Amino acid sequence: MTDAGVPLRVVSYNIHSQRDDTAALAEVVRTAAPDVVIVQEGPRRFRWRQKTAALAESFGMVVAAGGLPSLGNVLLTSLRVRVVDTRCQRYPLTPGRHMRGAAYAQCRVGGVDVLLAGSHLSTDPAERPAQAAAFKRELAASTLPVVAGADINEGPDGPAWQTLAEGLTDTALAADRADRLTFSCSDPRRRIDALFVDPRIAVVDYDVVDTPAARRASDHFPVLVDLLLPTA
């Protein structure tokens, strides 16, 4: 804890269903040494519990919430983060499309309570606004400071992004790093991955991790953010 608040390092990361270099994936996360990893495209099918536990172990972390019940959204934490309560959400299914959802964990860090949340919105622009609205309702209902990571599948000018950003801090903008692109690793052209936080939370630093290992690990770059949680 500092005089200004409780530090929390967060990674939000679409891991591409672990279809790429898993050793590089573990290297990226372990090098970042986060307190929280908000995962999109985590294990969600056969033996998902074992696969999620193995993913967490490879990162040097533990499973807080998510997996199959949240359709591949997973929240992982270090041992300094105490998980108090968890829940999962599934968005209404549009026929012929993949189901989407979100994971939530009420946590305590250094005596401060916070809500962690993660989601992965549809690639279909017709579906995303309703999914963003459903995710936003859960975030807005929280009385705790919110830390929410998402693969939104659209940029900051899109309606789903704007729905999620309303009333929250876009950590890239707060750190004057909105020019850092997150997708794709092979041809970075778009910022479609975001970390939003409650205005009570201070943004200390923001980065999009672009290293040789990150380019091998997934088709998305991870977002890495240092925060200070409010103590009062």
Q: Which amino acid is at 76?
A: L
Name the residue type at position 43. Answer: P
Predicted pLDDT of residue 147:
98
* Residue 150 zone, left/alpha/beta (φ > 0; ψ -120 to 50; rest): beta
Q: Which fold has domain 6-229?
A: Deoxyribonuclease I; Chain A (3.60.10)
Mean pLDDT, the chain, rounded, equals 96
Q: What is the pLDDT of residues 148-201, one digit of tens each?
A: 999 999 999 999 999 999 999 999 999 999 999 999 999 999 999 999 999 999
The CA-based dihedral angle spanning residues 200, 9, 214, 27, taken in that order and rounded to the nearest 10 degrees: -170
Do 197 and 148 form a contact (C-beta atoms < 8 A)?
yes
CA dist., res. 216 & res. 221, Å (int): 10
Query: What is the pLDDT at residue 116?
Result: 98
pLDDT at 191: 98
**Domain locations along the chain:** 6-229
Percentage of residues in the chain having pLDDT higher than 70: 97
> What mean pLDDT comes out for the span 52-62?
98
Is 90 exceeded by the pLDDT of residue 92?
no
In the predicted structure, residue 96 carries a pLDDT above the cut 60: no
**CA 5-166-80 angle, 5° bins:** 30
At 9-20, the pLDDT tens digits run 999 999 999 999
Cβ atoms 40, 14 nearer than 8 A: yes
Nearest Cα to Cα of residue 123 among 212, 219, 211, 56: 219
Per-residue pLDDT, 97: 67
